[in-house]
Structure 1
Amino acid sequence: MPGKHIMKSIGEILDENDGVGRGFDFLRIGLALAVVAIHSVQVCYGPEAPGLVARGMVGPFLASVLPMFFGLSGFLVMGSSFRTRNVATFLTFRALRLIPALAVEVTLSALILGTVLTTLPLAEYFSDIRLLAYFGNIIGRVRFELPGVFDDLPASGMVNANLWTLHAELFCYFLMTAAMLTRVAYNRVAVTAVWGAMAIFMTGYGVYSHAFELHGGAFKSSVLVFSFVSGVVAYHWRHSIPASNWIALISVPLAFGLLKLPYTAFAVHLPIIYLTLWIGSKPLLSLGGDYSYGVYLYSYPIQQTLVSLSPSLREWWVIFPLATIMSVLIASLSWTYIERPALQLKRLIVRRQPKSQRVSPVLAPGGSDLDGLSKPL
C-alpha cells in the first residue's frame, strides 16, 4: 500500500551505511564504562562485592555486559571473515587490533607503575620471576600480579584483573580460524546448526550441573564463547532480523526476567544479541574513535592506583568518575598514537595481496575498526 512503512532489517541499515553500524562505537564505550563501574565496586570492597551487588535489581544489567561485548565481537569478526576469506590475513588483522595496545599497556604497568608502587626493593622487583611472567599477557599467558604491587588492597595483588576474559577471546578466534579453514564459516546452515547444537548441549548440561549459571554476577568463559557464536550466527541472518523498536522494547524485560529466574540465565542470549544489534544500528553519538579497548586496558590499573593512594578514596562512587575520566583520556592517546596507526597497516597488507585476493579493510566514522574485536573485560 502507498505510504505504508516498511520495516528495515539490521542488514539493510548496515548496507545503507557502507557496512558501518553507526551505534557500535557508542555501544562499545558504554559497555566499557559499565565494566569500569563493576570493577569500581571490586577494587573498593573486594572480589566478592560485585557478586553481592548482582543479587539486587541491577544484577541482570551488569550480567548482560560481557555477553553483549562478545556477541558484538562475533558479529563483527564474522564480517571480517567474509571480507578477508583468508586465514592469514584474518589473523594478522586480529593481531594488529589486539597486540600493539596490549603490549604498550603491559610494558607501562611492569616498568613504570610497578617500579613506582612496589613495596619490594627494586633489585628484588626486577629479579622476581613474576615480572617476566607478567609480559606473557602480551601473547595470552594471562598473569594478574606484579611483585609487591597492590598486595594490601581489597583486590589484593591484582594489576590487570580485567584480562581474565582474554582466554575466551583467543579461543573464539581459534574457533573462527577453524571455521574458516573448513569453510563452515561461510555456510549459514552449518553455522546455525553448530549454534543450535551448542545451545541444546549447554542448556541441558547447565540445568543438570548449574555449570553455566551466573557466578559472582558474571557468566563463565564458556558462556561468553557461546555469546560470540551467537553473534556469528546473527551476522549470517542480519538481513532477516528486523530493526524493530517494539522487539527491542520487549527484549529488555525478557532479558531481565531470564537473568533473574533460576536455570534460564543461559537463554538470555537471544534478547541480548538482538538489543546489541538494534543499538548498533542507531545513529548514536561517537567520540571520533574506538576508545573502548583503551578504557578496557587501562581502567583497572588506574582504579587500583587510585585506591592505593588513600583509604578515603575507597568508595565506588568516588573511584568510578575519577577512573572514567582518566581512562578515557589515556584511551584517546592510545587510539591516536598506537591503535589507529596499527590498524592503518591493514591497507599496506591489502596492497601487497594479489588483486584477486584483495579486501577492503573498512574503518567506521572516526576510524573505529569495523572488522571487529571484542574487548575482553
Structure 2
Amino acid sequence: MAERSENNFDFLRLVFSSAVILSHSFPLTGKDEFFASITNGQLGFGSLSVDIFFILSGYLIFTSLKYSKTIKNYIWKRVLRLYPALIILMLISLIILPFFYKGNSIFSEKEYWTYLPNNLSLYKVQYFINGIFESNPYPKAINGSLWSLSYEFTMYIVLVLLFPFKKSKYIFHIVLLCFIASYSLYIFKPNFLSKLFNYIYLDTKELYRLSTYFLAGSLLYFVKFEKFNNLYTRISLLILLFLSLYFTQFKVVAPLTLPVLILLVGTLKTKYISSIGEKFGDISYGVYIYGFLVQQILMNYLNLNVLELTIYSIIITYFLAYLSWHYVEKPMQKYKNLV
C-alpha cells in the first residue's frame, strides 16, 4: 500500500472534515447555508463532504480488503480504526455534559445513561439528553455528526460479502454490478426496502446515496489513474459537475464523475500537501466526530456568527483531533494484526 506522503488523501479528508464544520456553522447559528440555496437544494458543504468521505473510504477500505489475510483481520482493522476514538469521545462527553445541564440532576435523566451504549451501537444514534443545549440556536443536539457512522460501518459489512471473491478474476464485474444496483436504487427506487432498513435505523435514501459513492470508490480501485491524470481531465470533470448543477442534474451526474475527480486529485503526489499526514497525522476522523460538540459548547456560551463559529471551532477541534490521533488512534494501529 502507498505511503501517506505518496498521495493527497490525508489532505482531502482534512479539507472536507473541516467543510463539515463550516456546513454545521450555519444551522448552529440559526442561519441557512448559502451553498444549498445557490444550488437549488442539490447539495451543501456537509452533504458534499460526506459523499467525498465515502468515495475515499470505498477506495481505501477496498484496498484494505485486498490486503487483509482473513475476514476477522479485515473486520478487526475496521473496528480498531472506528471505535477507540469514538469510545474516548463518548466518555469525554459524559464527563463534560453535566456542566451544561439545566435541570435538577442529569444523573436522573435516563438519556444520560443510554447515551454511551446507544451511540456505540452506531445504529441507534442518540442526539439528545434532556436539559442539554436546550437554549442554543440549534437546540438540544449534542453531536449531529454521528449519523453517518452506521452507514460507513454498513458498507464495511457489504465488503465482507466480497471477501471470498477478492482474488477472483470476476471481482471487478461483481463490484461493478453492485455499483449499478446501488446507483439505480438511488436514482429510481430510493424507498426500496425502507421498512426493512428502518428496523436498524437506516434511511434508504441516505443508504443508497452513500453506498453508491462508496462502491464507486471501490470500483475505481481497479483504475490506473496515472494514464489519464492530467489537468485537462480534472478540469473537464469539474466543468461537468458545474453544468450538472446548472441543469439540476447533479444527483444523476455526480456519482459518475465526482468519484473520478476526487480520486484523480487524491492519487496525486503534491508538494507540501502530500506530507500533511506525516507531519500532523490523519486527524480528519477526530475533526469529524469532535466538531459538532465543540460548536454546540461554543454556542452555549457565545453569540457567534457563522465565520466566527467556524474559525474558533476549527482551531479547538484540530487540537482535540491531534491529541486523538497521536494518543488514541495511532497507538491502536499497532494492534491491527493482532487478529
SS across alignment from 1:220: helix
CA displacement at 1:296 relative to structure 2 = 0.7
Indicate which of 218, 223, 229 corresponds to 2:209: 223
CA 1:241 to 1:35, structure 2 compared with 1: closer, same or farther past 3 Å?
farther
CA distance in 2, matches of 1:45, 1:20: 40
2:295 to 287, 303, 309: 303
Paired with 2:5 and 2:255, the residues of 1 have a C-alpha distance of 23
CA contact (8 A) 2:134 2:140 kept: yes
Residue 173 of structure 2: aligned partner: 189
Aligned residue number for residue 98 of structure 1: 82
Q: What letter matches 1:232 in structure 2?
A: S
CA distance in 2, matches of 1:137, 1:227: 24
Q: In the alignment, is residue 334 of structure 1 matched against residue 324 of structure 2? A: yes
Contact 2:286 2:320 in 1 (8 A): yes
2:127 is aligned to 144
Counterpart Cα distance in 1 of 2:176 and 2:227: 14
Aligned to 1:81: 65
* 8 Å CA contact 2:182, 2:208 repeated in 1: no
Alignment of 1:337-352 (within 5 A): 337-347=327-337, 349=338
Q: What whole-Å deviation, never above 9, does each CA across 1:217-271 have from its counterpart, x for those lacking one?
A: xx83420111101111111234686312211111112112224433541320222
For 2:230, the equivalent position in structure 1 comes to 244
2:252 matches 1:266: yes
* Aligned 8 A contact 2:286 2:321 in 1: yes
> What's 1:4 paired with?
none
Q: CA deviation at 1:293?
A: 0.6
Amino acid at match of 2:102: T
Which residue in the other structure is 1:71 paired with?
55
Which residue does 2:265 correspond to in 1?
Answer: 279
Report the Cα distance in structure 1 between the residues aligned to 2:153 and 2:6, rounded to whole angstroms.
24
Select the residue among 288, 296, 312 that pairs with 1:322.
312
> Conserved in 2, the CA contact under 8 Å of 1:184 and 1:190?
no
Alpha-carbon distance in 2 for matches of 1:239, 1:316: 38
Cα distance in 1 for residues equivalent to 2:245 and 2:142: 30
Aligned to 1:125: 106
Give 1:194 deviation, angstroms.
2.1
2:20 maps to 1:39: no
SS at match of 1:282: coil
Any stretches of 5+ residues in structure 1 without a counterpart?
1-14, 207-218, 351-377
Inter-partner Cα distance in structure 2 for 1:192 and 1:241? 21
2:307 and 2:13 map into 1 onto residues whose CA distance is 22
**TM-score, normalised relative to structure 2:** 0.85
Q: Which runs of 5+ in 2 are unaligned?
A: 191-204
Which position in structure 1 is the counterpart of 2:240? 254
SS in 2 for 1:120: coil
Compute the displacement of 1:199 (Å).
2.5
- Looking at structure 2, the residues matched to 270 and 205 of structure 1 have their Cα atoms a distance apart, in angstroms, of 18
CA shift, 1:45, in A, is: 0.9
Structure 1 pair 333–18 and aligned structure 2 pair: CA distance change class (3 A): closer
Tell me the secondary structure at the aligned position of residue 7 of structure 2: coil
Structure 2 letter corresponding to 1:115? P
Identity of aligned residues (%): 24
Confirm or deny: 8 A CA contact 1:67 1:269 kept in the other structure. no
- Aligned with residue 205 of structure 1, among 189, 194, 208: 189
Deviation at 1:84, TM superposition (A): 0.3
Q: Distance in 1 between matches of 2:326 and 2:256?
A: 35
Distance 1:19 1:301, change over 3 A: closer
- What letter corresponds to residue 56 of structure 1 in structure 2? I
State the alpha-carbon separation in 1 of the partners of residues 282 and 309 from structure 2. 23
Give the RMSD, CA atoms, in angstroms: 2.6
Of 338-347 and 24-33, deviating more is 338-347
TM-score, structure 1 length as denominator? Answer: 0.77
Whether the 8 Å contact between 2:12 and 2:266 is mirrored in structure 1 is yes
Alignment partner of 1:165 is 2:152: no
Is the 1:184–1:191 contact (alpha carbons within 8 Å) kept by the matching residues of 2? no
Count residues in correspondence.
316
Letter in 1 for 2:159: M
